[in-house]
Amino acid sequence: MFKINKLRAEILTDKSENITDLYGFDILFKQGLNIIAGPNSRGKTTINTCIYYALGMEELLGAHNEKALDKALKEEFTIKVNEEEDGVTYKVLSSKIILEIENENKEVVCLERYIKPNTDDVKTSNIVIHYSSFDHINDEGNETAKGVFFVNSRGNNENPNGFYNWLSEFINIQLPQVSNSSRTDNYSPLYLQTIFSALFIEQTKGWSDFFATMPFFGITKAKEKIVEFILGLNEIVLSTQKDVLNKEKNTITEDWKRKIKSFSYLEKQTNSTIINIPEELTTDKAEIDNINVLFSTSEDEKISFSRFFNQKSEAVKDLENKPISTIKENREEAILEFNKQKEEYFKLKDYIERFENKLRIEKQQFSGLNSQISIIESEIKDHINLQKVFSENIINERGANQCPTCSQEVTTNLISTKNIKIPQLTLEENTNFLRSQKKIIESSITSLNETINEKKALLLYFKNSLRQKEVLIKSISKDLIADDRAFSESEVVKKLQLEREIESLLLLKESIIELKGELQALANKYHNNNIEIGNLGESEKEDETKLADFETEYKNYLFGFGYDSNEKYQISINRKEPFKYLPVYLNKKEGVFLPQSIRINSSASDFVRNIWAYTLGLLNNGINHPGVIMFDEPGQHRTNLSSLKELFKISSEIKEKQTIIFTSIDKPLHNEENEKIDLDILIEDLDSSNYKLIRLDNVHKVIGKLST
């Protein structure tokens, strides 16, 4: 656990008389409830985003590094003497944030992070840790008591030099390993940024859903893992192992399907019929052993492999044992064989043409998919370059995000926000979407490439069979026009072809034995996988006790806040998917309670109350909770003043952890009572020792001249 003690912004401007003539703000916090209140446009958001930034959590705001912050901290700001005057504009030459935090062991450190560096050597993706309180940073000897850590880069939750790795150790939480579909080894830490999406609720997106600002890192069922970790459920270990084992099971199943597909190619190569192939994966060895090959000797008769093989072998022996016939002796048989082989030849030729056409289409599809990959890779590169443009303010050094040629507004959203009702994707979200599309297409390319290669091999076999028939037909033709006394060439050719057929049959037998062995190996893996999953069992009774306590407190908070969309008995924390560990509305249908999303079964203001209650419930019941939550403008979606008042009251009673609430004053709530946010009413019943009020000036913005 940790708490925030102090937040300080230091800005050097073009009007600073010297490097100690700084502007910014200095705010002290306490344990328990902290209220930062003021009119709109006075700097609440600036303070809020600075806390995100100092803790390396600006990704929850939808941006990286200084891009997440207001231009007042990195470009220019205005200070007014009074409301009537225009004020004086100050250009920012350099700026940084210092955040003093303290853990439960009473260790105090300061996090220093530049917004606009004063030299090229300083990076905004680095955070300097001073191992002292703010008041003693510059004490003699303290200049060496610091370390530099990086954020927003690969490995920052695992690398010893990664900031999140350092922060998790400082606040005394051990990040568990969880299943991750984006990692080749199946595992990754439960990234600290995902956990903080349950702690910090920002006003733009944060009130739209539970964990709404959580970045996507490929973690399987990330919301479930967050709740399991914060509440200290044993299920997090079990569910992670289950996820990995289920992933392994899916791989085994896909391998099985590919092996089964191989039988169909063997059939086409040998003109056989393979029977008793189990389409679904089975652990019954008898089913695998029962796979057999049949050959058609006529339209109505099919015989076994051994019988067919014996027939071919006997035919070769007969040809070897009898003297070579003359043309005259073999003429009638040669005519019948000629007509039969000619009919089979044209049938096979026609089939090959159709087969080649299908293969040509698949090759075109393969080429098209490769073209799509090239286009997507180009788009991803363009999106990354655009992100750099916005993050480094290349478009406009004043940060107005305007096109330098036509002066139109340019935003990180892909479409204009004006009169648009559909959800919008940011550049980062769209880049992630393109990357996921790339993975899907790459998977299709791999699968199609395997199919094409298999069909190429088949085509070679078919063409070889066609050539053999051509050779046999030519030899029979020669027999038909040759001298009756000459020896029959077609018998020699037939003997050679029979010998080749026998070789092919032996190869077929080996291939089927090999495929059966591979299926058996997969069946063994599947069997062992099921045993491992079964041995994991379900979550223990201890987990149910924790969940029941959490549910009780959540519901008490929820209905204490004035929730009235449903009755108390209809609301529950769901224990199973879907909506696992999330609040649900229990719809009774035919005597069974069916869980439904609480969001679609609650009014907009009641859903906001849900987020209040859920977040406070996690704070109070979380064994691994970092100990801090932030609500930015909780008075959303027509909530009423009495509900807000209860939120402040409940928050003030949680004294061992820290709650920070940013709220406007005199802002209309747009509810039926036409109420406004009245700070005096909100705090009138609070014990003054249970909260700290930071009231922003009605005229001046939060950025001002700092005292020495």
Classify residue 396: in a domain, yes or no. no
Q: Do 130 and 272 belong to one domain? A: no
Q: What is the CATH number of the domain that holds 516?
A: 1.10.287
Q: Do 139 and 268 belong to one domain? A: no
d(CA 359, CA 462): 13
Classify residue 6: in a domain, yes or no. yes
Question: Are 127 and 77 within 8 A, CB to CB?
Answer: no
Classify residue 655: in a domain, yes or no. no
Q: Give the per-residue pLDDT at 315.
A: 73
Q: Which of 518, 533, 548 is the last residue of a domain?
A: 533
Structure tokens at 112: 């220093």
Q: Is 481 buried (19+), middle (13-18) or exposed (0-12) by CB count in 10 A?
A: exposed
Q: Which of 489, 512, 533 is the last residue of a domain?
A: 533
Question: Are 448 and 362 within 8 A, CB to CB?
Answer: yes
Q: What is the CATH number of the domain that holds 117?
A: 3.40.50
d(CA 276, CA 544): 47
Classify residue 193: in a domain, yes or no. no
Question: Are 529 and 245 within 8 A, CB to CB?
Answer: yes
Q: What residue ranges of the chain have pLDDT lower than 70? A: 141-144, 296-300, 318-334, 387-429, 457, 461, 472, 475-498, 537-540, 590-591, 708
Report the chain's terminal Cα–Cα distance, integer Å: 32
Q: Give the per-residue pLDDT at 590.
A: 62
The one-character DSSP state at 673 is: T
Q: Give the per-residue pLDDT at 671.
A: 79
Q: Do 268 and 164 belong to one domain? A: no
Question: Structural domain of residue 161, as residue ranges?
Answer: 1-173+694-707
Q: Do 168 and 270 belong to one domain? A: no
Q: Do 163 and 281 belong to one domain? A: no
Q: Give the per-residue pLDDT at 629.
A: 97
Q: Give the per-residue pLDDT at 142.
A: 65
Question: Are 92 and 74 within 8 A, CB to CB?
Answer: yes
d(CA 583, CA 554): 9
Q: Which of 490, 514, 533 is the last residue of a domain?
A: 533
Q: Give the per-residue pLDDT at 645.
A: 94
Cα separations in angstroms, 284 against 209, 254, 280, 409: 47, 18, 11, 66
Structure tokens at 352: 């090959």
Q: Give the count of domains, the chain.
A: 2
Q: What is the pLDDT of residues 224-276, one digit of tens each?
A: 999 999 999 988 878 777 777 888 888 899 889 888 888 887 877 777 788 88
What are the backbone dihedrals phi and psi of residue 70, each rounded to the nearest 5 degrees, phi first?
Answer: -70, 150
Classify residue 186: in a domain, yes or no. no
Q: Do 139 and 267 belong to one domain? A: no
Q: What type of residue sits at position 445? A: I
Question: Are 109 and 118 within 8 A, CB to CB?
Answer: no
Question: Are 269 and 355 within 8 A, CB to CB?
Answer: no
Q: Do 379 and 528 belong to one domain? A: yes
Q: Give the per-residue pLDDT at 480.
A: 60
Q: Give the per-residue pLDDT at 268.
A: 72
Q: Do 330 and 456 belong to one domain? A: yes
d(CA 636, CA 582): 21
Cα separations in angstroms, 672 against 214, 639, 643: 33, 10, 14
Classify residue 265: in a domain, yes or no. yes
- Give just the sign of the alpha carbon dihedral 139, 142, 143, 147: negative
Pick from 180, 151, 177, 145: nearest CA to 165: 151
Classify residue 331: in a domain, yes or no. yes
Q: Give the per-residue pLDDT at 642.
A: 92
Classify residue 187: in a domain, yes or no. no
Q: Do 167 and 265 belong to one domain? A: no
Residue 506 has a CB neighbour count (10 Å cut-off) of 11
